[in-house]
C-alpha cells in the first residue's frame, strides 16, 4: 500500500531520470544508437522506447523499478543494467512476442494479451492497456453498429485510422458520409465563448486541488501563456513540476531537475488547454470527423450523452479522439492513443465537466485524467484570466 501511494512520485522520478538519460539527441533514430544495452528492440526507433517501456509497465501492472534498478544514493536510474531477473525474463518475452507476430499463426499478440495488467505483486490496481487488436475490435464494433444504422462503415483496422465508420464504402448500401469537421469545431468555438473572447485569452493561472488514485489531495497550479506551460503539484514528498518555455521542456521532482522532450513532454502537457479551441486546426493534423456516437451517462441512472467525434494526429505516432457534446458543443472527452512498438497501444482519457464562464470563456472546473497508472481528478478553485505571468516561470530552474 505504501508503494501504491508512492507510485506517481516514483513515476515522476523515473520520468526525470529517464529524460536525463536521453537529453542528448542521437543522430540515428534506432534504439541502439541512443541506449547502452539494447538486445531485442534493435529495430525500434529510439523515440519509441519510452512509450514501449510504459506499455510494459502498464501491461504487467508494474513500475519501471520492477525491471530496472537505480542508485540508492542519487536516485538516478541505471536502465542499461541487467541486475533484475525480471528484465532478463522480459527480454525472453519480447522475443516470444516477436516470434509469434512474425509467424504465420494468424494471431498478433502483445504483453497485455496474457498479462492483462494483473501481474501485480505491488498491489497496484490493474492497468488498462489496450492491444491494437482490442482497439481494432472496438472500432469494428462501432462500425458494425453504424452499419446497422444504415451503412457499412468499414471502420479502422488500426486505431488512428479514420475514426469509427469514417470510411465510406463496403457492402450493403452506401453509408452516409461522416459529417464535415468544420461545423463541429465552429460549434465548439462558439460554445467556448466565441472567437473574439478566445483571441483575448492570452494567459491564465488556474489553481485548485488534485486527488490521485491513492486518494491523496494536493494543491496544483497551472500557468499558461501563448504556448508556454507550467504545472506544479505539491506532492507532500517533494514538489513535482513540469514546464515548457516555448522551445524546451523540463521536469522537476524535488531537487531533481531534467530536460524532458518527445512523448514525455507531450504527456507532461496534457492539460495545456488555454488555446485548444483557438488553435484547434494548427494543433492537430489530419483532422477527420467520425459518425456521431454516444458517451456513457455521467451519473448512475442518467442518459447517455450524444456526441460529435473528431480525430486528429499529434507527433510521435499519437492520435487524439475528441468528443463534443452534440447539444452544447463543449468538449467532454479527449482520448489520447499512443502507439508503441510490439503491436500495443496505450490509451489516456481526459474528461472535462462542470463548465463555468470565466471572463467570457468556458472553463471546465472538473478534469479527470485516467490512464494505466493514473486516476487524477483536478478540481479547479480559481481561474485568473489575463494574469501577468513572468516568462521566467516557464524556464527550466537552474540547479542550486
Pattern 320-359, binding to ligand HEC, x per CB under 6 A? ----------------------x-----------------
256-260 and 285-295: which strand pairing?
Answer: unpaired
CB of 82 to ligand HEC, least distance (A): 8
Alpha-carbon dihedral sign for residues 284, 221, 77, 373: negative
Measured from the CB atom, the residue of 101 and 202 that comes closer to ligand HEC is: 101
CB-CB contact of 292 with 187 (8 Å): no
Q: How far apart are CA 238 and CA 233, in angstroms?
A: 9
Nearer to ligand HEC, 87 or 334 (CB): 87
How far apart are CB 247 and ligand HEC at their closest, in Å? 24
Please state the closest distance from residue 100 (CB atom) to ligand HEC, in A: 7
Which is nearer to ligand HEC, 129 or 312 (by Cβ)?
129
Residue 32 makes CB contacts below 8 A (sequence gap 6+) with: 38, 42
Nearer of residues 68 and 291 to ligand HEC, judged by Cβ:
68
By C-beta, is 136 or 332 nearer to ligand HEC?
136
C-beta of residue 178 within 8 angstroms of C-beta of residue 288: yes
Separation between Cα atoms, residue 369 and residue 375, nearest integer Å: 6
Judged by beta carbon, residue 23 or residue 219, the one nearer ligand HEC is 23
Shortest distance (Å) from residue 53 CB to ligand HEC: 3
Q: What are phi and psi of 392, to 5 degrees?
A: -60, -25
Is 310 one of the binding residues for ligand HEC (CB under 6 A)? no
**Rounded to the nearest whole angstrom, what is the least distance from the CB of residue 65 to ligand HEC in the complex?**
8
Per rule CB under 6 A, is residue 97 in the interface with ligand HEC?
A: yes
* 286 binding ligand HEC? (CB under 6 A): no
Cβ at position 187, least distance to ligand HEC in Å: 38
Total number of residues that touch ligand HEC (CB under 6 A) = 37
14 binds ligand HEC (CB under 6 A): yes
Position 8 contacts ligand HEC (CB under 6 A): no
Rounded distance between C-alpha atoms, residue 115 and residue 168, angstroms = 36
Q: Residue 244's CB: how many other CB atoms inside 10 A?
A: 23
Q: Is 46 in the site for ligand HEC (CB under 6 A)?
A: no
Strand spans (E) along the chain: 69-70, 77-78, 130-131, 203-211, 217-225, 228-234, 239-244, 249-253, 256-260, 285-295, 305-314, 318-325, 331-340, 344-358, 361-370, 375-385
For residues 221 and 209, the answer to whether their CB atoms sit within 8 Å is no
13: contact with ligand HEC by CB under 6 A: no
Binding pattern to ligand HEC, positions 54-93, x when CB under 6 A? x-xx--x-x-x-xxx----------xx-----xx-xxx-x
Nearest residue to 14 via CA among 262, 258, 369 = 258
Residue 94 binds ligand HEC, judged by CB under 6 A: yes
**18 touches ligand HEC by CB under 6 A:** yes
Q: Is the CB of 31 or the CB of 367 nearer to ligand HEC?
A: 31
Backbone angles phi, psi at 347, to 5 degrees: -120, 130
Q: x-or-dash pattern for ligand HEC, window 102-121, by CB under 6 A? A: -------x-x-xxx------
Three cell numbers written together for 164? 469509427
Distance CA 382, CA 361 (A): 14
| Dihedral sign computed on CA atoms, order 272, 274, 275, 276 | positive
Residues that bind ligand HEC (CB under 6 A): 14, 18, 21, 35-41, 49, 53-54, 56-57, 60, 62, 64, 66-68, 79-80, 86-87, 89-91, 93-94, 97, 109, 111, 113-115, 342
Amino acid at each position: 500500500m505504501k508503494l501504491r501511494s508512492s507510485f506517481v512520485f516514483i513515476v515522476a522520478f523515473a520520468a526525470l531520470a529517464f529524460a536525463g538519460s536521453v537529453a542528448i539527441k542521437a543522430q540515428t533514430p534506432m534504439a541502439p544508437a541512443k541506449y547502452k544495452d539494447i538486445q531485442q528492440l534493435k529495430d525500434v526507433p529510439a523515440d519509441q522506447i519510452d512509450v514501449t517501456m510504459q506499455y510494459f509497465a502498464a501491461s504487467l501492472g508494474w513500475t519501471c523499478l520492477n525491471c530496472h534498478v537505480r542508485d540508492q544514493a542519487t536516485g538516478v536510474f541505471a536502465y542499461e543494467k541487467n541486475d533484475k531477473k525480471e528484465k532478463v525474463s522480459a527480454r525472453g518475452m519480447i522475443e516470444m512476442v516477436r516470434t509469434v507476430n512474425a509467424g504465420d499463426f494468424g494471431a498478433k499478440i502483445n504483453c497485455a494479451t496474457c498479462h492483462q495488467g494483473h501481474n501485480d505483486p505491488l498491489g497496484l490496481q490493474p492497468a488498462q492497456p489496450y492491444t491494437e487488436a482490442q482497439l481494432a475490435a472496438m472500432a469494428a464494433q462501432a462500425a458494425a453498429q453504424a452499419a446497422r444504422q444504415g451503412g457499412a462503415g468499414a471502420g479502422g483496422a488500426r486505431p488512428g485510422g479514420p475514426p469509427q465508420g469514417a470510411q465510406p464504402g463496403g457492402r450493403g448500401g452506401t453509408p452516409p458520409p461522416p459529417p464535415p469537421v468544420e461545423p463541429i469545431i465552429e460549434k465548439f468555438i462558439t460554445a467556448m465563448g466565441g472567437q473574439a473572447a478566445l483571441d483575448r485569452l492570452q494567459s491564465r493561472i488556474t489553481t485548485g486541488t488534485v486527488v490521485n488514485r491513492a486518494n491523496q489531495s494536493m494543491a496544483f497550479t497551472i500557468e499558461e501563456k501563448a504556448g508556454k506551460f507550467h504545472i506544479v503539484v505539491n506532492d507532500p514528498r517533494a514538489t513535482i513540476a513540469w514546464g515548457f518555455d516555448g522551445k524546451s521542456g523540463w521536469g522537476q521532482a524535488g531537487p531533481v531537475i531534467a530536460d524532458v522532450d518527445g512523448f514525455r513532454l507531450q504527456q507532461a502537457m496534457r492539460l495545456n488547454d488555454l488555446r485548444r479551441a483557438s488553435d484547434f486546426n494548427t494543433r492537430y493534423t489530419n483532422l477527420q470527423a467520425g459518425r456521431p456516437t454516444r458517451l456513457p451517462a455521467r451519473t448512475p441512472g442518467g442518459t447517455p450523452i450524444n456526441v460529435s467525434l473528431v480525430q486528429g494526429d499529434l507527433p510521435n505516432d499519437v492520435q487524439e479522439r475528441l468528443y463534443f457534446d452534440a447539444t452544447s458543443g463543449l468538449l467532454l472527452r479527449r482520448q489520447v492513443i499512443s502507439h508503441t512498438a510490439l503491436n500495443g497501444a496505450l490509451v489516456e482519457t481526459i474528461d472535462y465537466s462542470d463548465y463555468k464562464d470565466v471572463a467570457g470563456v468556458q472553463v471546465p472546473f472538473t478534469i479527470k485524467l485516467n490512464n494505466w497508472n493514473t486516476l487524477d481528478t483536478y478540481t479547479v478553485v480559481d481561474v485568473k484570466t489575463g494574469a501577468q505571468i513572468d516568462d521566467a516561470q516557464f524556464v527550466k530552474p537552474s540547479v542550486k
